[in-house]
């Protein structure tokens, strides 16, 4: 009983493991991005860290004024990240080996080709638009903040101070302004005084980047950050110093975020169909065994009863026979006794 | 609320005072949370969007409520009928546990009234969180239906009760399927962020780790609660429950020992496949070994010893350490391993108000559990609805249960 239960548990568990493994191996095909989608190319060798892009973004998106004005460059002394009031920030990176001076880098949403934020949102609040931008729809967001857990670039931020309708805040690539015709290029791009930012079709940007590599030998590393990172992004970076030294992780790999969970999700229908069948099977086995055990028990009982009855009958018969024999011998004894007495009396009379 | 102190006695027992303070503080922080927003009460940041309300209330809450599906599966599917009397308490705990998880989520998410949106407005089916939400939602309903017979017996509605009892097998299977999916999916939530997780806790087997460890947690919680209930709700237990209690304790201890050993080995396999052995010689490695040896290997060993020597006290130690180990593991995955590369100054530590809410919610659960367990047939079979089939060799006894209504055992108070 115990052993049987244990074995079936083991079998069930083993099957689940096998299913899990084989489904994990499968994954979706790579998505090369929407053809003709737009993006921005950032050139770290040109950026001078003036924070005009920050000001431009703040202005076109109507974000609240920061405590320090945008021309205060002392804020660059600290490494910052995006927050609920700032879609984009510029950071300064000092003491980079091989660099003549500090290097600056602008950060904002990378507008991934296959965004982690969009694949992780359980109400599909994010949309990867065919134009390239990743946008967010506040009318369905629950505020669970899983998108913030998922984004490998630490981009989405949350209005923790809002009570009624806290929003997820992040760069939109100025999608709404551009589609409404209010802007032709994103606010930050338009504000840059040194053309460190270029807005255009992603395919063209990749060509421009390669063109600069060829035109200025030795100035750039031969790598366009964002071409393949996390499956590729619409925002691209080129630089003269290693990307990890300007706050861009080089260990992200080229696998897009949705592929990390697709295996686990693929198992779901398998569990949903195979598991009940398996469990019903296990149940049926136990029921059958219980039934057999029960039948065996019933049979054993009947046999025992029958045997007992037989024995009782035999005993009775024997007792009867014994009794009859007893009786017979008693009669014989009595008869004999009577005869003997009669004979005795006879002899006494004869005397 | 449910403190059924006899009229004459004072309400000012230490138990009532502590509960009262917890409820007051909880109520106060609740008001703050819904007037000042999350920023008013939590230490959450853009880097740490999930704090202990997810780590403890969701991840630990769901894992520790796994006793419901493990017990009913053991009894109804795997044919271990001697665990029958443990099913009702386990189902009740699971139902309350999941209700509290959902209740706690209302504090954590930004717009709680939209929690049904994923199912009724717009579904993000590519999201692991969607799967978790859907399964938890359906499982909560399943647990409710499984629990309803206790309430119906209490109210004396025979017909509807019998209809539900006839669906037991279907409900159990449904519950096991849903539990398998969401217990594992809670681990799968972190699959999407390999770059933010410490490699020792990140593995493509995370779903399997969460599922297997949840079974150990569920079994241990049944043992643990059984011990507590035995102490405080003894008067509510019938002969069958008490007679089977020992068997349940040791049977579950055996099961937990096996599951913990399996868990230990698949963790090792995980490290080996990802070739993460070298991380064991770092500070994180020491912490990982502390978890694996102190809270997986040790309780497995204690359980095995306890079963061998038939030592109930040792079983309890095994249960407590396993439960703590699951809490430690969920905290390690969601808070310690998550964002491990951030400088210490940017790491998250919960505010006292976040802790207060978690304590408040656990307290609510205990109070409701006690209320239901003292009123409804949980630890005993209702005299009119007996189902317990006596084991072979056992004499059929007349229902010897004595009604204790409105007269709780003195031990159930003042502790
Ligand atoms: S960078 Fe983050 S927020 Fe932006 S699209 Fe990618 S995953 Fe989404
Ligand atoms: S916080 Fe909003 S946008 Fe982000 S995953 Fe949750 S529901 Fe989606
Ligand atoms: S693209 Fe628009 S929203 Fe994004 S950083 Fe630039 S100005 Fe801001």
Give the DSSP per-residue string, B55-83: IIIIIIHHHHTTHHHHHHIIIIIS--GGG
pLDDT, residue A165, reads 92
| pLDDT (mean) for B383-410 | 47
Count of A–B CB contacts within 8 Å? 192
Q: Distance between CA B355 and CA B361 in Å, rounded? A: 10
Work out the pLDDT band at A63, boundaries 50, 70, 90.
very high
Does a structural domain hold residue B243? Answer: yes
User: Does B94 fall in a domain?
Assistant: yes
For chain A, helix (H) and strand (E) counts, in that order, are: 8, 9
Give the whole-angstrom CA distance, residue A198 versus residue A59: 19
Which CATH number covers residue B355?
A: 1.20.1630.10
Q: Which range is most confident: A273-287, B314-328, B390-404?
A: B314-328
Tell me the two tokens of residue B14.
């230490």
User: Who wins on pLDDT, B295 or A312?
Assistant: B295
Render pLDDT for B299-348 as a digit per residue (tens, 0 to 9).
Answer: 999 999 999 999 888 999 999 999 999 999 999 999 999 999 999 888 99
Contact residues on chain A for B110, CB-CB shorter than 8 A:
141-145, 158-159, 162, 165-166
pLDDT for A314 equals: 87
> Of B44, B122, B207, which has the smallest distance from its Cβ to A264's Cβ?
B207
Q: Does the structure show a pLDDT above 70 at A296?
A: yes
Mean pLDDT of B98-124: 94
Q: Is the pLDDT of residue B192 over 50?
A: yes
Can you spell out the DSSP letters for A132-176? S-EEE-TTT-----HHHHH-TT---EE-TT-SS---EE---TTHH
Where residue B287 falls among pLDDT bands split at 50, 70, 90? very high
Percent pLDDT > 90 in chain A is 61
Q: Rounded mean pLDDT of B133-159?
A: 90
8-state DSSP, A61: T
pLDDT at B359 over 70: yes
Question: Cβ-count burial of A329 within 10 angstroms (0-12 exposed, 13-18 middle, 19+ buried)?
Answer: exposed
**Lowest-confidence region among A282-296, B290-304, B379-393:** B379-393
β-strand partners of A237: A42, A225
For the beta sheet containing A197-201, the strands, ordered from the edge strand earlier in sequence to the opposite edge, are A197-201, A38-43, A235-238
Task: Output the pLDDT for position B345.
Answer: 86
Would the pLDDT of A222 be above 60?
yes
Query: Rounded distance, CA A88 to CA B41, Å?
Result: 27
What ligand 3 atom has the least distance to the C-alpha of A60? Answer: 7
Per-residue pLDDT, B162: 86
Are the CB atoms for B62 and B155 separated by under 8 Å? no
Query: How many Cβ atoms sit within 10 Å of the Cβ of residue A9?
Result: 20
Banded model confidence at residue B34, pLDDT cuts 50, 70, 90:
very high
Give, in order, the Cα–Cα distances in Å from A324 to each of A83, A336, A339.
112, 18, 22
Max CA separation in chain B (angstroms): 68
Decide: B77 and A102 in contact? Cβ < 8 Å: no
Q: Chain-centre distance of CA A112, in angstroms?
A: 20
Q: Which residue bears the tokens 């737009």?
A: A38
ipTM of the complex: 0.86
In this prediction, residue A262 carries a pLDDT of 87
With contact defined as beta carbons under 8 Å apart, do A263 and A27 qualify? Answer: yes
Residue B8 lies in a domain: no
State the best of B73, B109, B127, B253 to mutate against chain A, taking most chain A CBs within 10 Å: B127
Query: Does B400 score more than 50 pLDDT?
Result: no
Q: What integer pLDDT is reported at residue A29 of this predicted model? A: 54
Return the exposure string of B156-170: e unless at least 16 CB atoms fall within 10 Å of the residue's CB, then b: eeeeebeeebeeeee
pLDDT of residue A349: 65
Domain annotation covers residue B160: yes
Place of tokens 């913990």: B260
Q: Which residue has the higher pLDDT, A306 or B262?
A: B262
pLDDT digits (tens, 9 = 90+) for B41-58: 999 999 999 999 999 999
- Using pLDDT thresholds of 50, 70 and 90, give the confidence band for residue B407: very low
Residue B395 clears pLDDT 50, i.e. is over it:
no
Q: What is the pLDDT of residues A4-61, one digit of tens each?
A: 444 444 444 444 443 443 333 334 456 777 888 999 999 999 999 999 999 999 999 9
Q: Decide if pLDDT at B3 tops 70.
A: no
The H or E element containing residue B41 is: helix B38-41
The per-residue pLDDT of chain A, averaged, comes to 87
Q: Which of A144-148, B223-227, B361-365 has the lowest mean pLDDT?
A: B223-227
B406 belongs to a structural domain: no
Q: Which of B36, B77, B263, B267 to mutate to test the interface with A (most CBs of A within 10 A)?
A: B77
Alpha carbon dihedral A236, A241, A245, A251, in 10-degree steps, equals: 60
Q: Among the listed ranges A220-234, B150-164, B193-207, which one has the minimum average pLDDT value?
A: B150-164
The verdict on the CB of residue A116 being under 6 Å from ligand 2 is no
Mean per-residue pLDDT for B279-288?
Answer: 93
> Least CA distance to B73: which residue of chain A?
A279
pLDDT in tens, B59-104: 999 999 999 999 999 888 887 888 888 888 889 889 999 999 999 9
Helix or strand or coil: residue B255?
A: helix
Neighbours of B342 (CB within 10 A): 15
Strand (E) or helix (H) holding A199 = strand A197-201
How many domains does chain B contain in total?
1
Of residues A160 and A7, more confidently modeled = A160
Q: Is A191 in the pocket of ligand 3 (CB under 6 A)?
A: no
pLDDT band at B220 (very low <50, low <70, confident <90, very high): very high
> Does any domain span residue B111?
yes
Cα→Cα distances A290→A283, B78, B394, Å: 10, 11, 18
Mean pLDDT of A236-241: 96
- Each residue's pLDDT tens digit, A64-116: 999 989 999 999 999 999 999 999 999 999 989 888 899 999 999 999 999 99
Mean pLDDT of chain B: 87
SS3 B169: helix
Provide the domain limits for residue B352: 23-382
Cα B176 to middle of ligand 2, angstroms: 29
Three-state DSSP at A155 gives coil
Q: 């037989």: which residue's tokens? A: A310
> A144 and B110: CB-CB below 8 Å?
yes
pLDDT value of position B403 = 40
Tokens of B34: 């819904």
Element housing B220 (H / E): helix B206-232
Is pLDDT of B19 > 90?
Answer: yes
Show the tokens assigned to A79.
């490494």
Question: How high is the pLDDT of residue B254?
Answer: 92
CB contact under 8 A, B46 and A146: no
User: Would you say the CB of residue A168 lies under 6 angstroms from ligand 2?
Assistant: yes
**Is residue B110 pLDDT above 60, yes or no?**
yes
Pick from A152-161, A273-282, B48-57: least confident: A273-282
Chain B residue nearest residue A263, CA to CA: B204
Mean pLDDT of B349-357: 96
- Percent of residues, chain B, with pLDDT higher than 90: 63
Percent with pLDDT over 70 in chain A: 90
A175 Cβ closer than 6 Å to some ligand 1 atom: no
Residue B402 falls within a domain, yes or no? no
B82 in any annotated domain: yes
Check whether B144 has a pLDDT greater than 90: yes
What is the best residue among A186, A196, A197, A198 to mutate for testing ligand 3's pocket, by most ligand atoms within 8 Å of CB? A186
**What is the pLDDT at residue A9?**
43
- Can you read off the two tokens belonging to residue A219? 């100035």
- Those residues whose C-beta lies under 8 Å from the C-beta of residue B17, and which sit 6 or more positions away, are none
Diameter over CA atoms, chain A: 170
Given this model, what pLDDT does residue A350 score?
65
* Inter-chain touch B128–A120, beta carbons under 8 Å: yes
Measured from the CB, is residue A174 less than 6 Å from ligand 3? yes
Strand partners, A182: none
* pLDDT confidence tier of residue A330, bands split at 50, 70 and 90: confident
Closest CA to B362 of B323, B315, B334, B332: B323
For residue B29, the tally of other CB atoms under 10 A from its CB is: 21
Contacts of B176 in chain A (CB under 8 A): 275, 279
């Amino acid at each position: 009983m115990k052993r049987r239960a244990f074995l079936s548990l083991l079998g069930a568990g083993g099957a689940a493991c096998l299913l899990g493994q084989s489904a994990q191996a499968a994954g979706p095909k790579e998505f090369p991005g929407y053809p003709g989608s737009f993006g921005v190319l950032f050139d770290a060798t040109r950026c001078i860290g003036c924070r005009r892009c920050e000001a431009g973004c703040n202005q076109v998106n109507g974000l609240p004024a920061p405590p320090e004005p945008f021309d205060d460059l002392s804020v660059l002394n600290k490494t910052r990240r995006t927050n609920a009031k700032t879609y984009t920030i510029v950071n300064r990176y000092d003491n980079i080996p091989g660099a003549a001076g500090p290097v600056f880098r602008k950060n904002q949403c990378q507008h991934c080709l296959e965004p982690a934020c969009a694949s992780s949102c359980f109400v599909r609040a994010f949309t990867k638009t065919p134009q390239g931008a990743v946008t967010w729809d506040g009318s369905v967001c629950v505020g669970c903040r899983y998108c913030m857990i998922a984004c490998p670039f630490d981009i989405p931020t949350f209005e923790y101070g809002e009570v009624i309708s806290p929003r997820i805040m992040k760069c939109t690539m100025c999608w709404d302004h551009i589609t409404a015709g209010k802007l032709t290029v994103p606010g930050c791009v338009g504000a840059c005084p040194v053309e460190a930012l270029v807005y255009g079709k992603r395919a063209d940007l990749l060509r421009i980047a390669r063109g600069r590599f060829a035109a200025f030998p030795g100035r750039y590393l031969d790598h366009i950050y964002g071409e393949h990172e996390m499956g590729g992004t619409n925002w691209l970076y080129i630089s003269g110093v290693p990307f990890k030294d300007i706050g861009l992780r080089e260990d992200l790999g080229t696998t897009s975020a949705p592929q990390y969970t697709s295996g686990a999700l693929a198992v779901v229908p398998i569990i949903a169909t195979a598991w009940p069948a398996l469990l019903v099977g296990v149940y049926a086995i136990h029921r059958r065994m219980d039934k057999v055990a029960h039948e065996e028990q019933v049979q054993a009982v009947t046999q025992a009863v029958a045997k007992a009855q037989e024995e009782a009958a035999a005993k009775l018969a024997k007792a009867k026979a014994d009794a009859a024999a007893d009786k017979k011998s008693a009669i014989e004894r009595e008869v004999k006794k009577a005869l003997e007495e009669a004979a005795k009396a006879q002899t006494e009379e004869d005397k | 609320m449910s403190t059924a102190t006899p009229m004459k006695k004072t309400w000012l027992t230490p138990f009532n005072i502590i509960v009262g303070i917890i409820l007051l503080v909880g109520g106060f922080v609740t008001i703050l949370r819904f007037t000042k927003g999350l920023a008013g009460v939590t230490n959450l940041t853009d880097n740490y969007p999930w704090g202990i309300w997810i780590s403890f209330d969701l991840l630990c809450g769901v894992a520790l409520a796994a006793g419901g599906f493990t017990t009913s599966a053991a009894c109804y599917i795997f044919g271990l009928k001697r665990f029958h009397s443990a099913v009702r308490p386990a189902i009740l705990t699971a139902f309350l546990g999941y209700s509290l998880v959902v209740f706690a989520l209302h504090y954590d998410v930004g717009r709680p009234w939209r929690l049904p949106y994923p199912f009724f407005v717009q579904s993000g089916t590519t999201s692991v969180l969607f799967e978790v939400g859907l399964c938890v939602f359906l499982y909560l309903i399943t647990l409710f239906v499984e629990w309803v017979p206790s309430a119906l017996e209490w109210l004396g509605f025979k017909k509807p009760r019998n209809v539900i009892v006839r669906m037991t097998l279907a409900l159990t299977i449904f519950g096991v399927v849903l539990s398998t999916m969401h217990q594992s999916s809670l681990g799968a939530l972190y699959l999407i962020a390999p770059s933010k997780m410490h490699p020792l806790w990140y593995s493509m087997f995370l779903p399997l780790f969460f599922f297997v460890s949840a079974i150990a947690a569920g079994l241990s919680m049944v043992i643990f609660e059984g011990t507590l209930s035995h102490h405080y709700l003894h008067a509510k237990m019938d002969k069958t429950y008490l007679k089977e209690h020992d068997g349940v304790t040791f049977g579950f201890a055996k099961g937990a020992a096996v599951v913990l050993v399996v868990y230990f080995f698949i963790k090792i396999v995980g490290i080996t496949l990802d070739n993460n052995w070298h991380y064991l010689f770092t500070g994180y490695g020491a912490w990982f070994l502390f978890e694996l040896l102190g809270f997986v290997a040790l309780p497995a060993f204690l359980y095995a010893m306890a079963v061998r020597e038939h030592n109930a006290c040792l079983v309890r130690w095994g249960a407590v350490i396993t439960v703590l180990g699951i809490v430690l593991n969920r905290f390690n995955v969601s808070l310690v391993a998550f964002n491990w590369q951030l400088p210490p100054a940017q790491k998250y530590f919960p505010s006292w108000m976040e802790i207060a809410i978690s304590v408040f919610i656990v307290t609510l659960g205990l109070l409701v559990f006690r209320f239901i367990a003292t009123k409804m047939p949980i630890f005993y079979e209702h005299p009119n609805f007996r189902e317990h089939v006596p084991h072979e060799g056992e004499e059929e006894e007349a229902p010897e249960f004595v009604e204790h209504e409105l007269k709780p055992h003195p031990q159930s108070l003042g502790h």
